[in-house]
Structure 1
C-alpha cells in the first residue's frame, strides 16, 4: 500500500507557485493560466484596443477635417472620441497586461498615474454621453429652440465640466490617498511588489460611484426615457400608425444599446479577480462602441458624415462604410 502511494502521482502538491518578480522577496504571485487562455485573452484585448483606436480616430479625423461636420453637437462627439482614443493608448494596453498576467511591471508612480487616467478618462467619457443626451433632448423635445439653446458657448461649458471635474476628482483622490483612510490594515495585508489596484473606503466608494455613475446614469436614463415618450407621442399625433411600431423598435434598440453598454461595468462592485476584469473590460468596450453607436444609430451624424453632395466627403464615407449602411 505504502509503495503504491509513493509511486502514484502526487496529486496533493500544487504546481510550483510563480511570482511577478522572481528575485524580489515581497513579490506578488502570478495568476497561472493555460497557454490557450493567455493567447485568447491577448487576441480579444488587442482587438478591442485596435478597434477603439481606429474607430475613434475615424471620428476625430472626420469631424476635424470636414467643415460640414463642424457644428456644436459634433464638437461633443469629437471631444468624446478624443477621450476614448486616449483611453485606448494610455490605459487599455497596460490594463491588458495586468489583467492577463495579474502583475504590474511598470512601477509604483506609473501605477498611480495609470489609475488616475483610468478614472479620469472613463468618467470623462460618461460625462460626454450625459451631455449628448441633453443635446438630444432639445433636438427632439424642443426643436424650435434647439439652435438658440445648444450654442458654441453652451457646448464649451459642457466640455469644461466633462473634463475638469474628472481631472480634479481622479488626480486629487488618488494622490491625496483619501480613498485609503480607514483601510490601512487591509492595504498592509495585501501589499506586495507587482500589485496595482485601486482601493476605496466606504465613503469614497459611495462618492466615486455617485460621481462616475449614478448621477450621470440617472440623468441619461431619465432623458432618454423622456425622449422616447415624446417621440412616441409625436408619432401618434401625426398619424404614423403603420410606421410607429418600426420607429419605437428602432428607438428602443438605440436606447437599449446606449444604456446597456453604459451600465455593464457597474453591475457588480465587489467581484473575484477574473470577474472584475470582465466588468472592467466591458467598461472599456463602452469606448470601443461609442463611435459605432453614434455612427450607426444617429441619422443626424450619419447624414452629415456621409452626404453624397459634400465635396471630398467620399473619403469620410469610405471610413464610415462599415456602419453607414443600416437604418436607411
Structure 2
C-alpha cells in the first residue's frame, strides 16, 4: 500500500471547536483508508467472535472444565479484550487524530492495552508449562495439576500483568500527562530504558521459556514415538515407522506453529523500538508493528482451540443454539471415546 497515497485527502479541523485549547483534527479519507478500515474492522470482529466461541465453549460445557482448558480460557479472555476494546480504539486513531475519551480514558486505555497483551503472553507461557508437565510426567499430572491450582495460577498471572503495566506507565510519567500539548490528545511516551526492560520482560523471557519447553516436549514426543514403535506387537515394521513418523510430524508442526506465530507477531515491534531513543504511541512503529501484536490475538484461538475436536463440536451446538436446551452443559463432546 502506497504511504504517499494514504497521506492524501487529509482535511484539517478541530477536535472540539468550542474549546480554545482544542487540538487540530486530522480526518483521513480516500479509497486506501476505506480499504484499511474494512480490513482492520474484519480482523477485530473475527478476533471477538472466535475468542467468544472459545469462552462460551469452555465456560458452558462441564466436560471442558479441565486445567488445560482453563489456560485456553484465560488466553481467550485476554485476546477477546484485544478485539473488543483495543482494536476499535486503534482503528479510530488511524482515521481520526482526536482522543474523545477524556483524561480518565487516556489513563485507563494503556492499562487495558498492556494488561490484555501481557496476560495473553502469560497464558502462552502457562500453556507451555502445562504441556511440558503433561508430556514429561503424564502419570502424576492429575495429582500435580488441578483446576483449583490452575485457577490460582491464572489469577496470579493476571495480577502480575496488572502490577507490571501500572509500574510501566508510572515510571514513564504517563499519569502526569505533562507532554499533552492540547485538549483532545492522548500520547504515551516510553523511555528507552523501559523499552529494554519491556523487551526482556514481555518478549525475550517468555519467548525463551516457550521455545525451551516446546523443544523439550518435541524431544520427549520423538522418544515416546520410538518407544511405541519398538514395543508395538502385531504391527509391521513399515506400519510402525509410519505411526512414529506421524507422531513426530504432528509434534514438529505444533512446535513450529507456536514459535513462528509468536516470533513473527512480536519481534518486529521490539526490534524497531530499539532503533529510537524515545517511542511515542503515535509513531509509525507503534501503529504498524503494534497491530502485529494484536493480530497474534486473532491467531491464538486458531492454534490452541480450532485444532481441538471439542471446539468444532461445541461450535456446532453454539451456532445452532442447542446450548439453550436443558442439560446441554453435560453434553458429550468426545463421542469417539465411547
**What's the TM-score bracket when you normalise by the shorter of the two chains?**
0.7 to 0.9
1:149 aligns to 2:151 (yes or no)? no
Aligned residue in 2 for 1:220: 210
Could you say what secondary structure the match of 1:267 adopts?
A: helix
SS in 2 for 1:200: strand
Retained in 1: the 8 A contact 2:27–2:95? no
* Alignment match, 2:194: 204
User: What is the aligned partner in structure 2 of residue 265 from structure 1?
Assistant: 266
| Distance in 1 of aligned mates of 2:26 and 2:255 | 38
TM-score by length of 1: 0.77
What's the counterpart of residue 21 of structure 1?
15
User: How many residue pairs get matched?
Assistant: 293
TM-score, normalised to structure 2, is: 0.75
Mapped contact 1:64–1:70 kept (Cα < 8 A):
yes
Mapped to 2, the partners of 1:178 and 1:37 lie a distance apart of 38
* Structure 1 Cα separation of the partners of residues 38 and 133 of structure 2: 42
SS in 1 for 2:140: helix
Q: 1:82: how far off?
A: 1.7
1:118 lines up with 2:113 in the alignment: yes
Change over 3 Å in CA distance of 1:145–1:15 after alignment to 2: closer
Match of 1:60 in 2: 55
The whole-number CA distance in structure 2 between the counterparts of 1:316 and 1:219 is 35
Q: 1:80 to 1:21 in 2, by over 3 A?
A: same
Classify 1:20/1:84 alpha carbon distance in 2 versus 1 (closer, same or farther; 3 Å).
Answer: farther
2:125 — aligned with what? 130
Q: Is the 8 A contact 1:306 1:316 kept in 2?
A: no
Alpha carbons of 1:102 and 1:164: their partners in 2 closer, same or farther (altered >3 Å)? same
2:317 aligns with one of 315, 318, 323: 315
Q: Which has the higher strand share?
A: 2
C-alpha contact (below 8 Å) 2:11/2:26 kept by paired residues: no
| Alpha-carbon distance in 2 for matches of 1:61, 1:22 | 41
| CA distance in structure 2 between the aligned counterparts of 1:102 and 1:248, rounded to whole angstroms | 51
Please, which runs of 5 or more residues in structure 1 have no aligned partner? Answer: 1-13
Deviations 1:249-269 (A, max 9, x none): 333332232223322233243
- Post-superposition offset of 1:276: 3.2
